Structure 1
Amino acid sequence: MTNLDNIDTFLDKSLKEYQEQYESLQTQSENLINRTDNILDFIDHTPQILNDLDNQFEKKTGLSFFEVEILFAVVGFQLLRQYLLTKFPLRLDDQISAKTTDGYVKTSSNRRHRYYEPSLEEIITNPVPFDANLGANGALKGGGKLGHRVTAIGHDPLLGLIFGTANIATSTLTTNLFDSYHIKTINSRDAFTEKANTGLVLGYTIKKLLGPVDDKQKVAISFIKEIIHLRSDLHTHNSLPLPLISVIDGEFASRLASYGLDFSNVVTISKQAILANLINSLAAMYHYSFYDGEIDEELYRVKTKKIIMYSNIIASVTNLAAVGITKNVNLLDVGGIGVAIYETITSVKYRKKVKREFIIGRYDEMFEDL
């Protein structure tokens, strides 16, 4: 083969390679142009695509007829709770409330006084010493509307469990300033006599608690008597102050009570919120028990939150309407309304998060398939 033939062969081969490369580049160019066109078309149709994805999300998270039935069942349970279990109780006077309190026994003062060491019989048969006011000489001043229920710390719903129990076990009274007084019987009534030592009030109580069975029994009976007394005062007209505030500012605690912030209302509102949450939790668990994996779990949870949110809103609106029609504020479901507001805020926030992830995720998948 001559050199000329070699050159021709080389040229033919090179030309063929260049032609193949050209065709490949042309194909890639056409594909790129087509993809660019597709991308531009996709971008042009983005509003419609997003709207379609939004509709898909709404369809997937819409409630079925069965789920609507669950929703109204939850509404029914919330309404039953509102009117049978957690409405605000009628306020009674002290005597009537005491008579209707389980465990309450009418007593009269007959203290055979031994400093810090009343007998078990005296503890049982005498009134709680922190109800005494005869001879107080200003020791209980500064209680405002709530009077001695602010200044006698045995009435504090939290500190009373300690100091009230100790006062009963030692025949003493401790004020919100932590001053203590011996309480004795004068003309069949409990009365202040002389100052006591608050350290000894607690010390003797601890000593009894750690002592023989008879002394332990005195503290146990004192504690039970404290609980019964707090319960008897709870739903009276003046009720009890909020915990701990009395020792910070007695007049402020009384002022709060005059605005409705007393322990009775706090207990009722807390009960409303706790039971409303319990119903919501049971409803959520019941709904989740039907999850079959057909849709993403987060989308199913959006449906659950819808059931809880809508049922709480309906129950709360119904409650407000009932209060407006009857003019009976004792029916107001403050705790339940608070739970409904919280559920609405958290549900909307969660729904927005899941919806954003759903739409962006599907949009990215569609873009990658172009």
Structure 2
Amino acid sequence: MGYEELVEKRKVLLADMDQDAAEAKCGLEETRKLYHVAIHTREILDDLDQQFKEKTRLTDEDIAFLFIAVGLQVMRQYLLTRFPKIMDDKTAAKRTPGHLEEHSDRHHRLYNPSLAEIITNPVPFDAMVGADGALKGGGKMGHRVTAIGHDPLLGLIFGTANIATSTLTTSSLASYHIYTNAQNVDYFRSKARTELVIGKTINKALYERYEGKAIVAASLAKEIIHLHSDLYTKNSLPLPVIPVLNSELAGRLGSYGLHMANVLAVGKQAAGAALINFLIATAHRLYGGNLQGREAKCYEVRTRKIVSYSDAIATGSNLVATAVTRDIRLLDIGGFAVTVYRLITDRKFIRSVKEEFIFGQYFDMVRGEERR
């Protein structure tokens, strides 16, 4: 081997040694960094936790959104979605749009009352004279449970058919012809066939000419008006379908306050609260601009804090106001349910973002990447 070859080999060996030394030095530096991170993990995590708190703390602008949200929720509670005032049957009927003064005077043709008779007579499923036990089992709600024409859902079918055929169908799906006696009071005259009650109504709607179609249309309109007039009375209306499945259960639920008036009121409260939450959250997100990555998620935490805090404040004030005034109509049950839901789901979201923020940055440090 010549001198020149030895020199070249020496250069290669020295270069390899330099590279190995550089890699060893780099590895040593990484080891030192990992060691530093490892022994200071507690302090680093505490620092990152504090950073997260600072990034998700509500600003003055956020506080403004919070007060607007609380104001809107309070206005909704007392102006838009409080529980309705309960009226007696006659007062409710008079206040119902489309209500007419009615009197019983049925010139009976089996399953085929005239249009004028349908318009001027009360609904046949309010008859109780001569029921002879056919309407038993409704508890305190009485015939509102056992006469299926009062069902908020099935009544649109059976109640309409009853009006169109001058009959009454019970929650057990037995039907009766309703007549008017000498004292102008509706009463149970004889049994009818439920399949004919429905079949005759379908025939009027589909196959008869103008009068048949007008009878069904008028019957449906009268059914809707009647349901509306009964809705905010003392016994209100039962929950849909339950009377057919178990009339006694429907009656018990109604006596506990689980009837349509209260269910609709609570539904309006919940829908109103959720709508305000959506509008506030959307406005706050738009105000934040086009953020990306962890900054966007931290901003979302602030948005959710605004919504949760506003719901909690509004619900707390509502409970206090209800307790002080002892007016149960002020109670915002739907809003309370939305508040509980938001507190649970938003807390879960915030915890998830916090974990991602802290441990994401911690692992960036372990990998030697810059903290973002």
State the TM bucket, normalised to the shorter chain: over 0.9
Query: Match of 1:194, SS?
Result: strand
CA distance in 2, matches of 1:310, 1:48: 30
- Bigger drift between 27-36 and 178-187 goes to 27-36
1:102: which partner in 2? 97
- Bigger drift between 348-357 and 165-174 goes to 348-357
Query: Match of 1:181, SS?
Result: strand
CA distance in 2, matches of 1:62, 1:348: 15
* TM-score using structure 1 length: 0.94
Residue type at the aligned position of 1:319:
N
CA distance in 2, matches of 1:46, 1:354: 20
Which runs of structure 2 are paired with 1:103-142 in the superposition (5 Å)? 103-142=98-137
> 1:173-195, CA deviations, whole angstroms, 9 ceiling, x for partnerless residues?
00001010000101200010011
Which of 139, 146, 152 in structure 1 is aligned with 2:147? 152
1:233: which partner in 2? 230
> 1:291-324, CA deviations, whole angstroms, 9 ceiling, x for partnerless residues?
3235533332222211111111110011011111
Residue type at the aligned position of 1:307:
I
1:288: which partner in 2? 285
Residue type at the aligned position of 2:33:
N
2:180: which partner in 1? 185
Q: Does 1:252 align with 2:228?
A: no
2:300: which partner in 1? 301
CA distance in 1, matches of 2:49, 2:57: 12
Q: CA deviation at 1:59?
A: 2.2
1:323: which partner in 2? 322
Q: CA deviation at 1:228?
A: 1.2
CA distance in 1, matches of 2:255, 2:32: 73
Give the % identical residues.
50
Aligned length: 365
- Bigger drift between 109-118 and 348-357 goes to 348-357
User: Where in structure 1 are there 5+ consecutive unaligned residues?
Assistant: none
- Bigger drift between 225-234 and 168-177 goes to 225-234
CA distance in 1, matches of 2:213, 2:223: 15
- Bigger drift between 359-368 and 266-275 goes to 359-368
Q: Contact 2:237–2:261 (CA<8 Å) still a contact in 1?
A: yes
Which runs of structure 2 are paired with 1:1-370 in the superposition (5 Å)? 6=2, 14-15=9-10, 17-186=12-181, 187-210=183-206, 211-294=208-291, 296-369=295-368
CA distance in 1, matches of 2:278, 2:33: 48
* TM-score using structure 2 length: 0.93
- Bigger drift between 90-99 and 224-233 goes to 90-99
> 1:263-290, CA deviations, whole angstroms, 9 ceiling, x for partnerless residues?
1110100010111111111112211221
Q: CA deviation at 1:357?
A: 2.0
Q: CA deviation at 1:148?
A: 0.7
CA distance in 2, matches of 1:189, 1:83: 42
What is the Cα-based RMSD across aligned positions, in Å? 1.7
Q: Contact 2:137–2:251 (CA<8 Å) still a contact in 1?
A: no
> 1:21-40, CA deviations, whole angstroms, 9 ceiling, x for partnerless residues?
33433333233222211110
CA distance in 1, matches of 2:14, 2:281: 68
Q: CA deviation at 1:47?
A: 1.9
Q: Highest Rg: 1 or 2?
A: 1
CA distance in 2, matches of 1:320, 1:79: 12
Query: Match of 2:135, SS?
Result: coil
CA distance in 1, matches of 2:283, 2:27: 53
Residue type at the aligned position of 1:205:
T
